[in-house]
Amino acid sequence: MDGDGVARTMWELGEPVHDLVYFSPEAREAADGLGMRGFWMGYFALRAAPLGPVPAPVVTGAFYVFHPARVAGALPDAWGYADPAAVVAARERAMDAALTRVYGAERVASADLTEAADLAWRAAEAADTAGRVLGAANQALDRPALPHVRLWQALTTLREHRGDGHIAVLVAHGVGPVAAMVLKVAAGESDADLLRLGRKWDADAWGTAVEELRDRGWLDADGRLTAPGAAARARIEAETDAAAARPWRTLGTDATARLADLLAPLARTVLDTGLIPSGNPVGLTDGVWAGRPAPSPSAVSDRTWQKVSRTRPPAPRETPVPPAAPGG
């Protein structure tokens, strides 16, 4: 590994472990146990909790690709069921349970996993979080005592640090939330319906973004990347990698390579469980992700959203709920 490609490789290796907070049954059970109403309220609460009891517009801005209505269906109501500090604690317990189940008690107690956790934590501490709200909020959390939970939190901090940088690059290139998803689909990394319906954008908004990208010469008439479009997307990804490189430069070449060696089998184990569905919105297809089923037009109707989008009836809006305490 060398250059800014290190940042991309480390993201590819860390993402499967992080993704357990979205797709493991333990995460859903934790959200349900807090009183969250359905998958999406749990998703936004578990991911946004480090920010404190923020309102929907803040999370819409920070997460970037979700329609405001998708976020407003979950926040701020979630903070009435559980304050952010309680949500952070619950997600740590959920990741403890999920990682222990996936890896086994012996593996989570191993010297290799502890070494991976400590190396990842050092990298996360080195993340430059100025202007990166999700990365900074996660970096500010206390160091978990359990090594496997510490590993998860460190990888989450690094993942959100990278995501914050990616959003900054998209904004600098004039690529809005829907256009960013259209580019991912055009690159063959994800399915249009999976992204559009999951993030709650209507067909008109999607069509408008497609036309904007065609006007820029980035898409052809069939919605595929043109040569200028492919070059523009490559620049966006390269700039994202460069913006995410500092933790790995600080950790150093040898320590980063060692962490990569330790993470590869951990990532493979998670992917082999089948918990992360094909066509998932992250859209990773290289490295440890290679060989997984490609996104398909049927993805939105398969177990991805059938399984995770089941909801309990929402609490009536007029139901009094206790005020959320600051924290997280």
DSSP state at residue 275:
-
Burial class (CB in 10 A: 0-12, 13-18, 19+), 60: buried
Rounded Cα gap, residues 124 and 118, in angstroms: 10
How many angstroms separate the Cα of 101 from the Cα of each of 9, 96, 106?
A: 26, 9, 11
Residue-wise pLDDT for 192-205, tens only, equals: 998 999 999 999 99
CB 317 within 8 A of CB 207: no
Whole-number pLDDT of residue 278: 74
Quote the radius of gyration of the chain (alpha carbons, Å): 19
Say what the pTM is. Answer: 0.88
Q: Phi then psi for 305, rounded to 5 degrees?
A: -95, -25
CB 53 within 8 A of CB 323: no
Rounded Cα gap, residues 158 and 142, in angstroms: 15
Rounded Cα gap, residues 7 and 247, in angstroms: 9
**pLDDT > 60? residue 309:** no
Whole-number pLDDT of residue 323: 29
Residue 36 pLDDT level (bands cut at 50, 70, 90): very high
Residue-wise pLDDT for 128-176, tens only, equals: 999 999 999 999 999 999 999 999 999 999 999 999 999 999 999 999 9
Higher pLDDT, 276 or 263: 263
